Amino acid sequence: MADTALTPTVLQALRPADVVHHRDQMLRWWSISGHAQRLTALQGRTPLPGWENYDVSGEVGRLWMMAAFRDAQLYWVSPEMTAVIETLAASIPDCYPQPLVPNGFVMFAKSVVGTDAANGKPIFTTAILWDHNTLATAGDCIALETYAWRDLVTDYVEMSEEDKVVFRSHFPCRLFATGGSEWPVGELTTQFTRLPADDATKQVSIIEDRQLMATFWALCSQKITVESIQAPTRAMRREAQRAGRGEPPSVRVIRLREPTTRTETGAGREVEWSHRWVTSAHWRNQWYPSTGQHRPIPIEAYIKGPADKPLKVRETVRALVR
């Protein structure tokens, strides 16, 4: 990941209900067969032979986005859990794409800083959409589509106030698609055999996205996380009825588990801790005979320190591989 000091400190997606709202916004936007939608659907993706026709390929991509948002299972990650995922992502061992569910949309409560594939500058990812996609040249893939807050994008791009007005008219949603890529099933995080990246900067950006999602998928099944389901509220149901939409989806909430109570050894004196931290965290590529693959899992990771203290995540984490 890029310099984390650049990450915006303001929490952007404060509630799990925000995921439903922004997903509905994007679903309505992608349901429009327009120039902006077709152009955005191809943004960041490696050009494929036979897909030079912009209108055709862009429309196929738009329809994929619309279907992926319509069917996605929704996730919201708390601010502290986002900090853990962002830090551990840089050291996750090479692995295959192993999503929690075939199709999902996750929003991070705090933007994750990474590398812009177009220019190498910082980019702030706040949401990722994933689903399966089959390409003639690469076979079965997990397609990833990253999203940033639209106004953060305009703040970090040289753009006049007049251009910002035009930009927002084409992209009225608060989320803005910052590019997509495919991760071929059966290829490792850093492998680009079936679908080479256009250049080194783009490859770095794609690897970061893969590492971020692989870490999210891996940690969601570990004891360090707590998952709960937030059902739609009565207000959300009424809003959906007024808009002529179906039942709003539930959101899977991913939080950091509360610190485990552990007995201190030694003199038995009380210690006034100033913060909480993740301790004993390292990766192992665990072999799973049922799938015939290795899966990265964090070993002995738990939270230590008082529940009312701020969480600090170490900049370096040991990485163990098979």
Residue 23, amino acid = R
**CA 305/CA 286 separation, integer angstroms:** 28
Residue 320 has pLDDT above 80, yes or no: no
**CA 252/CA 183 separation, integer angstroms:** 24
Q: How confident is the model at residue 145 (pLDDT cuts 50, 70, 90)?
A: very high
Domain boundaries, the chain: 4-227
Query: DSSP assignment, residue 5?
Result: G
- pLDDT tens digits along 210-239: 999 999 999 887 776 888 898 888 888 888
**CA 2/CA 11 separation, integer angstroms:** 19
- pLDDT tens digits along 273-300: 555 666 655 787 887 787 777 788 776 5
Q: Is 162 exposed, middle or buried (0-12, 13-18, 19+ CB in 10 A)?
A: exposed
State whether residue 113 is helix, strand or coil.
strand
Residue 196 has which token pair? 């080479």
Using an 8 Å Cβ cutoff, are 71 and 65 in contact?
no
Q: Is 183 exposed, middle or buried (0-12, 13-18, 19+ CB in 10 A)?
A: buried
Q: How confident is the model at residue 268 (pLDDT cuts 50, 70, 90)?
A: very low
Whose structure tokens read 């990833």? 144
Helix ranges, 220-288 (H) = 234-242
- pLDDT tens digits along 110-144: 899 998 888 888 889 999 999 999 988 889 999 99
Residue 180 has which token pair? 């997509």
- pLDDT tens digits along 24-62: 999 999 999 999 999 999 887 776 655 556 678 889 999
Q: Tell me the helices (H) and strands (E) count for the chain, helix number first.
A: 8, 13
pTM for this prediction: 0.81
Distances (CA, A) of 34 to 25, 29, 40, 230, 232: 16, 9, 10, 34, 31
